[in-house]
Amino acid sequence: MAIPARVRIIDVGPRDGLQNEKQPVPAAVKIELVHRLQDAGLKEIEVTSFVSPKWVPQMADAAEVLAGIQRRPDVRYSVLTPNMKGFEGAVAAGVDEIVVFGAASEAFSQKNINCSIAESIERFAPVVEAALAKGIAVRGAMSCTVGCPYEGDIAPEKVAYLAGLMKGIGVQRVDVADTIGVGTPRQVQAAITATLQHFGVDAVCGHFHDTYGQALANTLAALELGVWNFQSSVAGLGGCPYAKGATGNVATEDVVYMLHGMGIDIGIDLDKLIDAGQYISDFLGRKSGSRVATAIVNKRAG
Amino acid sequence: MAIPARVRIIDVGPRDGLQNEKQPVPAAVKIELVHRLQDAGLKEIEVTSFVSPKWVPQMADAAEVLAGIQRRPDVRYSVLTPNMKGFEGAVAAGVDEIVVFGAASEAFSQKNINCSIAESIERFAPVVEAALAKGIAVRGAMSCTVGCPYEGDIAPEKVAYLAGLMKGIGVQRVDVADTIGVGTPRQVQAAITATLQHFGVDAVCGHFHDTYGQALANTLAALELGVWNFQSSVAGLGGCPYAKGATGNVATEDVVYMLHGMGIDIGIDLDKLIDAGQYISDFLGRKSGSRVATAIVNKRAG
C-alpha cells in the first residue's frame, strides 16, 4: 500500500452538516463550533453558504458567522457560492475559498438545481472566473459520483465528464462525493480514477457518506490511490435534503481515529475534536453520529 | 490489490451475538434465526456454546437448539467447547466444528478465563485431540489480537505466540479477533501477518468489531492480505461481557453489502439476510446494529 504519510481533513460540519437542520442554530453556536474545530487542529473548515435564505434558511447568517470567527492565518475558510450574488457576499466576508457544485447524474442535477449538468457549469463559470481574478481559491463539489437516488449506479465516464467540465472553467480542485453513501471501495476507486483524468491526485478530495457504513473502507481505498484530502463532518452532522435517506456524512472523529491508528500525520487532537462534536450534538439535543465519539465518551464516563 | 474473488462468512450471531443477552431467548427463536441465516445463504454458523449454564445461562439450551435445526449438508455448524464436558455435549449434538479460545493478552486471559495463555492452551489440548480423533474440525478463536481492555496495545509478537500455541495443539484454523474494536487497518494487518507465521492464509478468519466504526476498513485491509474468511454477526448482535464498552460485532449485512459492491462472490442474499436481522432485532426489541439494514429498511418503507 502506497498510502500518503499525511492527510488533510476539511470539516464540512458547519455548512454541509447544519444546512438542513430545521431548528435554528444561532450564529454564536456556529462560530463556537468553528472555534472548537480550529482549536482541535482542523486546517480547513467549510463554514457556510451564501445562498438565498428562501432556499436554505439555516445559512441566512453567513456573513454574521464569518464576521464572528477569530480567524487563524493557517486555517482555510471556505463557503458555497451558487451564483455571483453569493460570490459577492463571500468576497465581502473575506473567504479563502469558494465552492461551486455539480452532479455526475443528470437526473440529480435537474432535481437538485433545476438545470442540466452543462448548464450548471455555465452558470458557475463567471463565478469561478471572478474568484480566480481576485486570488480566491476555487473548489468544485461533485455529487453523486458513485450512485444517484434517481439514476442508480453512476458510470465513471459521467464522473470524468463532470470533472472535465469543472477543469474547463478553472476549478482548482474537486470533491469526489458519494452523496448517498452507496459506494463500496472499488466503485469509489473507479470514480476517483475517472477524476484523475483531469485533476492531479493532490487536487482530489474524498467525500464519503456513512449511510451504509462504507465510508472508512472507502477512505482506505482512496488513500491507496494516493488521495490525501478528505471531507468529513464533526459528529457526523448532516446529509442531503434532496437525496432520500441520505443521512450520514462520515464523522470526522471516525476518520481521524483511523488515520491516527495508521500512523498518518494529521495534526488533529482527537479529544478536542470529540469535545467539539459533543458541543454541537448537545446543542442539537442529539446523539453523536460518530462511533468513535460514542465509544470514547462512554469510556470517559467509566 | 490482490483481493480474493470469493469470501466465506461465518455468522456468529446465534452464539457470540446472543450469549450475553440478559433477556431469555427461547430455543425456538434461536433455531428460527439459524434457519433464516442458512436460507439467506450462510454456509457457516456459530450456533451455541457448550459451557456451564452457571457462567453463560443464555447458552444452557445448546443441545436443544442443535437438535432443532433442520441441518443442511453444505452448512457447517460450529460451537464453543471450553472443556471435555462441553466437548462431549458437542459430540452428542453432532456438530461439524468445535471452537476453542485464547487471548493474545495475558491480562485478558487471566480476567476472562482465570488462567495464563499457556495454561489455557494446555487445558484445550485434550479437547482438540479428541475432536481431531473423531474427525471434527477445530477452530481457535484468538481474542485481543490488536488491543486489550487491560493491557492496551497488543504487539504482533504476542499474536504470533498464541497462534504458535494453537498450531501446536492441532488447531486447524484461527480467528484473528479485534475483541474490543480498537484496531485500524495497519494494526489488523500486523496481527494477521503475525498469525501467518503459523497458519496459511486459508486458515485465517478475520473477526472485527465495529465499536470504533473500523470493522469494514479492517475487513478491506485483511482482504488485501488474501484473507477470505470473516466472522460477523447478523444485525451486529453481541459483544464481550469481559471487555468494558466492547459492544459491536460488525454486522453481517454491512460486510455483505461491501463485498457485493466489490463484486466478490459470497453467495448470500442480502434481502433475506436483512429479514433475518430484523427478525431477531424485533424479538429483542432493539434497533438493528447494521447501518445497511437500517438504510435498506428505511428505503423499503419509502
Lowest-confidence pick of A24-38, A208-222, A226-240: A226-240
Lowest-confidence pick of A70-74, A176-180, B8-12, B294-298: B294-298
DSSP labels for chain B?
----SB-EEEE-IIIIITTT-SS---HHHHHHHHHHHHHTT-SEEEEEE---TTT-GGGTTHHHHHHHS---TT-EEEEE--SHHHHHHHHHHT-SEEEEEEES-HHHHHHHHSS-HHHHHHHHHHHHHHHHHTT-EEEEEEE-SSEETTTEE--HHHHHHHHHHHHHTT--EEEEEETTS---HHHHHHHHHHHTTTS-GGGEEEEEB-TTS-HHHHHHHHHTTT--EEEEBGGG--B-TTSTT-B-BPBHHHHHHHHHHTT-B----HHHHHHHHHHHHHHHT---S-HHHHHHHHHHT-
Residue A293 has pLDDT above 80, yes or no: yes
Distance from CA of A60 to the nearest CA of B (A): 31
Integer Cα distance of A52 and A85 in angstroms: 9
- Dihedral angle computed from the Cα positions of residues A125, A131, A132 and A137, in that order, rounded to the nearest 10 degrees: -110
Distance from CA of B247 to the nearest CA of A (A): 9
The answer to whether residue B294 is domain-embedded is: yes
The nearest alpha carbon in chain B to A246 belongs to B295
- Residue B257: predicted pLDDT: 98
**Averaged pLDDT for residues A211-230:** 97
Indicate yes or no: CB of B184 within 8 angstroms of CB of A211.
no
Residue B223 has pLDDT above 60, yes or no: yes
Is B46 touching A (CB cutoff 8 A)?
A: no
The answer to whether residue A2 is domain-embedded is: no
Integer Cα distance of B258 and B230 in angstroms: 13
Provide the domain count of chain B. 1
Closest CA to B270 of B229, B240, B299, B238: B299
pLDDT band at B112 (very low <50, low <70, confident <90, very high): confident
Integer Cα distance of A221 and A83 in angstroms: 34
pLDDT tens, residue by residue, A8-55? 999 999 999 999 888 899 999 999 999 999 999 999 999 999 999 998
Query: Which among A187, A292, A299 has the least Cβ separation from residue B213?
Result: A292
Query: Which among B213, B219, B248 has the least Cβ separation from residue A254?
Result: B213
Residue B298 has pLDDT above 50, yes or no: yes
- Residue A21: predicted pLDDT: 87
The answer to whether residue A49 is domain-embedded is: yes
Distance from CA of B217 to the nearest CA of A (A): 4
Q: In chain B, pLDDT over 90 holds for what percent of residues? A: 89
The nearest alpha carbon in chain A to B2 belongs to A1
Is A220 touching B (CB cutoff 8 A)?
A: yes
Backbone φ and ψ for B13, nearest 5 degrees, come out as -55, -50
Query: Which among B245, B260, B295 has the least Cβ separation from residue A295?
Result: B245
Whether this prediction's pTM lies above 0.90 is answered by: yes
A144 annotated active-site: no
Distance from CA of A297 to the nearest CA of B (A): 10
DSSP labels for chain A?
----SB-EEEE-IIIIITTT-SS---HHHHHHHHHHHHHTT-SEEEEEE---TTT-GGGTTHHHHHHH----TT-EEEEE--SHHHHHHHHHHT-SEEEEEEES-HHHHHHHHSS-HHHHHHHHHHHHHHHHHTT-EEEEEEE-SSEETTTEE--HHHHHHHHHHHHHTT--EEEEEETTS---HHHHHHHHHHHTTTS-GGGEEEEEB-TTS-HHHHHHHHHTTT--EEEEBGGG--B-TTSTT-B-BPBHHHHHHHHHHTT-B----HHHHHHHHHHHHHHHT---S-HHHHHHHHHHT-
The answer to whether residue B83 is domain-embedded is: yes
The answer to whether residue B15 is domain-embedded is: yes
- Chain-centroid distance of CA B163 in Å reads 17
Is B245 touching A (CB cutoff 8 A)?
A: yes
Distance from CA of B64 to the nearest CA of A (A): 36
**Averaged pLDDT for residues B10-36:** 95
pLDDT band at B299 (very low <50, low <70, confident <90, very high): confident
The answer to whether residue B2 is domain-embedded is: no
Indicate yes or no: CB of A212 within 8 angstroms of CB of B1.
no
> Complex ipTM, two decimals?
0.94
pLDDT band at B241 (very low <50, low <70, confident <90, very high): low
Indicate yes or no: CB of B291 within 8 angstroms of CB of A210.
yes
The answer to whether residue B1 is domain-embedded is: no
Query: Which among A186, A254, A258 has the least Cβ separation from residue B262?
Result: A186
- Contacts with A248 from chain B: Cβ below 8 Å: 291
Indicate yes or no: CB of A213 within 8 angstroms of CB of B260.
no
The answer to whether residue A268 is domain-embedded is: yes
pLDDT tens, residue by residue, B242-262? 445 446 899 999 999 999 999
The nearest alpha carbon in chain B to A183 belongs to B261
Residue A142, domain CATH: 3.20.20.70
- Contacts with B298 from chain A: Cβ below 8 Å: 245
Residue identified by cell 456524512 is A249
**Averaged pLDDT for residues A264-274:** 96
Q: Note which residues in 251-270 of chain A have CB less than 8 A from chain B.
A: 251, 254, 257-258, 260-263
Domain residue limits at A42: 8-301
pLDDT tens, residue by residue, B151-179? 999 999 999 999 999 999 999 999 999 99
- Residue A241: predicted pLDDT: 52
Is A217 touching B (CB cutoff 8 A)?
A: yes
Mutate to test the interface with B, among A212, A255, A257, A288 (most CBs of B within 10 A): A212
